[in-house]
Amino acid sequence: MEFPMSEPRLRTAGEPITLTVDGDVAREHVTAERDQPIARLLAAVEPGIAADHATVWSGDGLFAASIPLSWLASARISDGRITGGAPASRCWLVKDVTRIELTAGRVADSLPADEVPEDWQPDLDLLAKVDEDWQRGLAIVAHPDDLEYGAASAIARWVSQGKQVDYLLVTSGEAGIAGMDPAQCGPLRRSEQIESARIVGAGGVEFLDHPDGMVVADLSLRRDIASAIRRYRPETVVTVNHRETWGGSSWNHADHRAVGVAVLDAVRDAGNAWVFPELQDAGAAAWSGVTQVLVAGSPQPTHGVDITDHLEVGVASLAAHATYLAALDPPGDPRQIVAASALATGPRLGVRAAVVFELVT
């Protein structure tokens, strides 16, 4: 039996009862308030049906959680997630809820009616937590806005912990807006990036002024990045996806790939006094203190950061790139872009919202 949010309806009596809930934040046909009591859906179920448990399914079909129906009846679906209800249950870990299947009798993986097992783990590939035992970080990316699709939320978290995180932009993104002359676009995008960094509490923002769209992972770029690493002396470096795709057939931008590779090489270069000795002569002493490189947007993530308490700051940091987002076709919605990914990723870290990284050491 299917009950779309907008028009609850019944099938033939005796058939399995299923509530289909379109709750992904990226879908425009979610209720106007994007927040709906599940009891409103349950009220449409034929009263005579003996259901006491519900299995909540994720949209990708990879994850489900079975819970007592009484818990679900007091909860809400908001932005595609189950929220509220008492006591807390594992159903809130389900991302992008699309189906709620009601069953008579407890199914095999149901929770006890009065407790949530402390050792319970979701049935999906889990991520390790990023090591946060450090004080100085340097985020090195190709363009203004590269950090704001998720990584900036993690940076906001780290800044709230008292860490220092500075930004190094290889280009000014001057070739990034069709129809806008680079001479006008570059300064505008620089100012939007500086404001975005201010929102999350990042430290300095430095631009290397390599040509947007034509970045090459050559010795010149490696030298510039190694010099910055020696000057900032970070323990953690954050960079952009260096791999060929974002996953699947989506080809990665040449600048992203070049910067990502150059960063990985420059971290090693920075620690070797005999590589780029002119930097040493100029007072930029070798720095081998980088203990981890976190690659944002990688299709092969290994670690995650809980950004539940910093999701809104991350949304605001992307919104600061207003001119760039407005020029996209269709225009980019910061909340949909940042929140949809973070909420979908959260269950892999056992939290509500998370951002993922590929760890390189």
Three-state SS for the chain is CCCCCCCCCCCCCCCCEEEECCCCCCCCCCCCCCEEEHHHHHCCCCCCCCCCEEEEEECCCCCEEEEEHHHHHCEEEECCEEEECCCCCHHHHCCCEEEEEEECCCCCCCCCCCCCCCCCCCCCCCCEECCCCCCEEEEEECCCCHHHHCHHHHHHHHHHCCCEEEEEECCCCCCCCCCCCHHHHHHHHHHHHHHHHHHHCCCCEEECCCCCCCCCCCHHHHHHHHHHHHHHCCCEEEEECCCCECCCCCECCHHHHHHHHHHHHHHHHHCCCCCCHHHHHCCCCCCCCCCEEEEECCCCCCEEEECHHHHHHHHHHHHCCHHHHHHCCCCCCHHHHHHHHHHHHHHHCCCCCEEEEEEEC
Per-residue pLDDT, averaged over 82-97, amounts to 56
Q: Which of 41, 70, 103 is the last residue of a domain?
A: 103
Is the pLDDT confidence value at 266 over 70?
yes
Do residues 151 and 193 both lie within one domain? yes
Same domain, 200 and 332: yes
Q: Is residue 91 in a domain?
A: yes
d(CA 203, CA 207): 13
The confidence score (pLDDT) of residue 241 equals 96
pLDDT band at 350 (very low <50, low <70, confident <90, very high): confident
66 and 150 in one domain?
Answer: no
Shared-domain flag, residues 65 and 173:
no
160 pLDDT band (50/70/90 cuts)?
very high
pLDDT tens-digit series, residues 282-325? 999 999 999 999 999 999 999 999 999 999 999 999 999 999 99
Task: Say if residue 108's pLDDT is above 90.
Answer: no
Least reliable range by pLDDT among 121-125, 203-207, 209-213, 327-331 = 121-125
Is residue 88 assigned to a domain?
yes
Higher pLDDT among residues 8 and 295, named by residue? 295
Order of all β-strands in the sheet with 64-68 = 17-20, 97-103, 53-58, 64-68
Q: What is the pLDDT of residue 278?
A: 95
Q: How confident is the model at residue 111 (pLDDT cuts 50, 70, 90)?
A: very low
pLDDT tens track for 184-202: 999 999 999 999 999 999 9
pLDDT at 28 over 50: no
Q: Grade residue 329 by pLDDT with cuts at 50, 70 and 90.
A: confident
pLDDT tens, position by position, 54-75: 667 666 555 566 666 666 666 7
pLDDT of residue 47: 46
Q: Are 314 and 307 in contact (CB under 8 A)?
A: yes
Residue 38 pLDDT more than 90?
Answer: no
Q: Do 134 and 88 fall into the same domain?
A: no
99 shares its domain with 132: no
- Domain of 83? 17-103
| Residue 44: per-residue pLDDT | 53
The pLDDT of 108-127, averaged and rounded, is 47
**Judgement on whether residues 149 and 43 belong to the same structural domain of the protein:** no
Give pLDDT, residue 84: 60
Domain assignment present for 271: yes
Q: Evaluate if residue 19 carries a pLDDT over 80.
A: no
| Residue 226: pLDDT over 80 | yes
pLDDT value for 127? 87
**Residue 6 clears pLDDT 50, i.e. is over it:** no
Q: Which has more pLDDT, 104 or 258?
A: 258
Structurally, the chain folds into a number of domains equal to 2
Q: Is 83 domain-assigned?
A: yes
